[in-house]
Amino acid sequence: MEDILDLYAEPYDPKYPQVCLDETPYQLIEETRRPLPRQPGRPERFDYEYRRHGTVNLFVFFQPLTGWRQVKVTERRTKQDFAHCLKDLVDVHFPEAERIRVLLDNLNTHTPASLYETFEAAEARRILRKLEFHYTPNHASWLNMVEIEISVLMGQCLDRRIPDVETLQSEIAAWQAERNAQQAKVNWQFTTGKARDKLNRLYPDIS
């Protein structure tokens, strides 16, 4: 836990950016009837029936010190999908960085092995040499700020029925562009000092 909190407390360094990473499923749903438009004193109304169009996965990257985020829509959440996201971090989003500090949880796909199962060994090693993994403790994924950003995404953009991947990508892109233009950040106040005070019972007793 202190590893994550100490990393959050470090000043911004473009050569060593901090990037929070997580993923979440999203179900594609189509309306079967046209919603009734909103009227004075009455909100827009939707029919209870709908048509399912499967589930996709959203990989969400968030850089807390600069207010940058990127959402990648994939069909699945496999080791290969994860590996390609890491490659994008290295080659597309932060090509000038010397080392990217990636904060993530302990999901079974979140390992260096995913790179080696996706790319040739030399390519996997090239990508891995520019990454530094920082894992949240078990049952403490709330320490990853990207979970807050995912909650904002769901509340501001995806709190309605979206029928297909094309519309989903378009809506997310618009939301993402606006948030990045605002450089919207998280007001994170939980520090290492506060953790030692509030979670003292979780520290070993060495008296």
From the list 143, 76, 141, 129, the residue with the least C-alpha distance to 99 is 129
Give residue 118's pLDDT band: very low, low, confident or very high (50, 70, 90).
very high
Q: What is the pLDDT of residues 34-79, one digit of tens each?
A: 655 666 867 655 555 667 778 999 999 999 999 999 999 999 999 9
Give residue 200's pLDDT band: very low, low, confident or very high (50, 70, 90).
confident
162's CB contacts (< 8 A; 6+ apart) are 26, 28, 29, 168, 171
Give residue 81's pLDDT band: very low, low, confident or very high (50, 70, 90).
very high
Distances (CA, A) of 107 to 110, 133, 180: 5, 13, 27
Q: Which residues pair with 32 in a beta bridge?
A: none
pTM, 2 dp: 0.86
Give residue 143's pLDDT band: very low, low, confident or very high (50, 70, 90).
very high
From the list 67, 84, 65, 93, the residue with the least C-alpha distance to 23 is 84
Q: What is the pLDDT of residue 50?
A: 64
Torsion of CA 113, 116, 117, 121, to 10 degrees: -160
Give residue 138's pLDDT band: very low, low, confident or very high (50, 70, 90).
confident
**Going from the N-terminus, what domains does the chain have, and what CATH number goes with each?**
2-28+51-200 (3.30.420.10)
Q: What is the pLDDT of residues 18-36, one digit of tens each?
A: 999 999 999 998 766 565 5
